[in-house]
Structure 1
């Protein structure tokens, strides 16, 4: 009898998509399901960027360079330079979304069986990327009671083994919204220098910090050869479907290996690069409105959550997610119950149970992630649903 690979069997389900069949069934029953489970912004992709694709005079959509169009890499380098980063086009490999950049980073920096350390809770697919690249994710726990601050560097150091090759950090953090400051990043960079480790910096939400300045790992003095920046336009310009990301490194030997990986998949999406390159023509204040809108949504959602009895909710400082504790027996069961057995005047919500963002068994069992990527009206209606559901849920715990 045929069997699938062990790798395929070990791949974990998506922590934010696995309830989709239940949501579809709820919609077929006539319910309105408000999607708070996934970071798909409702903010319009800039018309100027869309027009670059709509008006392109292309007769043959041909292969592009494996590293990405030189014109786009120059544009992207100029963007980083405006962020005070010493980046040139030669430091950039354009990728098929941030997901491919993560995969390339693990394949280029780690050997099969090697380990990388990640603070948990973490972006759920990191577990899947570890399985797919035959590497091992090692989690160091952060806690809601500490607002998910970076664990002590000693906790990272205690996990280092002869197989450890990298530390992976998402900043601002998905799913917690925590923003790691310069002092925390310098501590991690020092650790990487002492133990000769890579620092993989997933900065997909770099534009969305609400309560202070953002520090990129590429700003850290002396760590340039160790830092691998993972980036994407998906959240920055509300262009998730364009599938354009980037891997940026000053380490030429590493960049050459990543380039060979890029050649294997031939080239990143050409139309997506046209769209992304047009971002150079956006006004300098483009992010001011978007950032203010997300901050207002954050304030509304956090205010509503913190007013609910039994809910504990740190205020996220960046990205567009809230990770909160609920007075329920199990957030996974609660999330499914919301879609199968609950509605408030024909409405319910889809959420992400937080256990899928942890590697340590048992952690996150009473937590869930909510994305504030919908309008103020939808947030209000969704919070009304959640408040009523918490009162009615059979597995409520005080």
Structure 2
């Protein structure tokens, strides 16, 4: 058949002609698409309304920010000075696990808090967020289940999506101050895919402080079912109605407990992005170290700040704690004076969860920024639905952060009281 030119079929996507298959000349159509993981990633419950707050400010409206845990307390000058005065010729990578001097001093800080932590138990991370990410990547496989009491820190949902982990919620309730639900409810959620429990203590967003007895019950459950207990302890210093108990204070914690930590709230240094993944489980620490190698090293300059902060006197925390306590008391007092508002008194951290006389906190929060002002100001809040995994839960609840001074808290509460009086969707209006 040499010399014979055989034409391509034109009418099918492919055809067989004399035993030869040709692809159609018609072009294959492909569309750019983002990942399913990206589509499933939720917006931050405390940042997603930021464009509306920015628009309000451009209209000349002052905004009281109660939506996010950004303290206004001064970052310790001695910690900042350690960075400002550092004599650095080349800003090199630090070791993957963090600077040895910082890990040593951080271990001493934990020891002063009664936690049996050595430098080799610490992996320095880029904020508490990276510590959470390392924990989920190291303790759970794709498709595994993580039991969490809700409401919980909103970013947990995002980390679960990023790591293909399923959050299984156990609901706590505002009526009893968001106390830990009965341990039987946790046990009833355990399946063959369950690998860990995650608690935040003191809790964000509720401010609830878990007692030693409650933590012992959780650890006992984890030991009996061979689970990890992940303990997010970002607000350790800020407990107002009793002593703080770390999961690492408990007997038998060594193999099961991972403490997730950060200096962001402790030293009002959110922008430093320095945290810690802390466990005495050597095999788990070795696995987390491999994930840490992926990002090479934690921030170098910020570790200098963190190291200097470990040497601050205890009086630093006394003053900060007293200020937050006064702010908590003021906000609780003002909220309870507003008709239809209910809030428990939080025992720690710097957040208050409140139920409002409205049907939809998302709509109310948007209305505050788009349509309302009082004496030239409005208030930005976090709707609570973003802190629940159960669909529809928390629709009339909000999280408020008492991270602004008491005069500003009074102004914000004036706005909130007037807003609830004017709001067209107020229940019982």
Q: TM-score range by the shorter chain?
A: over 0.9
Partner of 1:135: 165
Partner of 1:31: 61
The structure 1 residue matched to 2:423, chosen from 385, 393, 396, is 393
The structure 2 residue matched to 1:10, chosen from 35, 40, 44, is 40
Task: Output aligned runs, 1:116-265, within 5 Å.
Answer: 116-265=146-295
The Cα of 1:280 is off from its aligned counterpart by: 2.8
SS in 2 for 1:117: strand
- Equivalent-residue separation in structure 2 for 1:87 and 1:307 (angstroms): 45
- Equivalent-residue separation in structure 2 for 1:389 and 1:98 (angstroms): 35
Partner of 2:298: 268
Partner of 1:54: 84
The Cα of 1:282 is off from its aligned counterpart by: 1.3
Q: Which has the larger radius of gyration?
A: 2
- Equivalent-residue separation in structure 1 for 2:282 and 2:51 (angstroms): 45
Partner of 1:77: 107
Number of paired residues? 398
- Equivalent-residue separation in structure 2 for 1:330 and 1:283 (angstroms): 45
Residue 90 in 1 paired to residue 108 in 2?
A: no
The Cα of 1:146 is off from its aligned counterpart by: 1.2
The Cα of 1:281 is off from its aligned counterpart by: 2.6
- Equivalent-residue separation in structure 2 for 1:387 and 1:85 (angstroms): 44
The Cα of 1:284 is off from its aligned counterpart by: 2.5
Calculate the TM-score normalised by the size of structure 1.
1.00
The Cα of 1:279 is off from its aligned counterpart by: 1.1
Partner of 2:22: none
SS in 2 for 1:74: helix
- Equivalent-residue separation in structure 1 for 2:237 and 2:197 (angstroms): 22
Residue 368 in 1 paired to residue 398 in 2?
A: yes
SS in 2 for 1:295: helix
- The RMSD of aligned alpha carbons is 0.5
SS in 2 for 1:300: helix
User: Unaligned stretches of 5+ in structure 2?
Assistant: 1-30
User: Unaligned stretches of 5+ in structure 1?
Assistant: none
Partner of 1:350: 380
SS in 1 for 2:120: helix
The Cα of 1:329 is off from its aligned counterpart by: 1.7
- Equivalent-residue separation in structure 2 for 1:258 and 1:151 (angstroms): 30
The structure 2 residue matched to 1:303, chosen from 333, 336, 351, is 333
Partner of 1:378: 408
Q: Any idea what the Cα deviations from partners look like across 1:82-140, whole Å, max 9, x if unmatched?
A: 01111000000000000000000000000111001000000001000000011111100
SS in 1 for 2:310: helix
SS in 2 for 1:318: coil
The Cα of 1:9 is off from its aligned counterpart by: 0.5
- Equivalent-residue separation in structure 2 for 1:283 and 1:132 (angstroms): 39
The 4+ residue runs of structure 1 with deviation greater than 4 A are: none
Partner of 1:292: 322
The structure 1 residue matched to 2:139, chosen from 101, 105, 109, is 109
